[in-house]
Amino acid sequence: MPDFVTLDMIEKWKDRFDRELQSIRSSNKLALLFDTNKHNFESIQCLKILREYLTDNKFLKSRFSRAALVAPARFLAPHIKS
């Protein structure tokens, strides 16, 4: 993905990634770490769409044992530390 990511780019990426996933011929379960920290997103909606795609995609669920999405720091809610 480019440095600045829009909602339209996410939708196009999902289509391309679906095609790439279908080309995987491995019978082993795979893990996917999706680090979005190095990109500037148009809005938090981009991250919500990515998270939904990673968690609800039936093909991903059947091929991947787990998927993780690392969110950019500017979109994280503040955490209270004692």
- What is the value of pTM for the model shown? 0.69
Which residues touch 75 (CB under 8 Å, ≥6 apart)? Answer: 41, 44, 47
* pLDDT reported for residue 76: 59
SS3 content of the chain, % helix, strand, coil (to 5): 45, 20, 35
The per-residue pLDDT for range 10-65, each reduced to its tens digit, is 999 999 988 888 887 767 777 777 777 778 889 889 888 988 888 888 877 777 77
Retrieve residue 76's tokens. 């994280």
Lowest mean pLDDT among 16-20, 36-40, 68-72, 76-80: 76-80
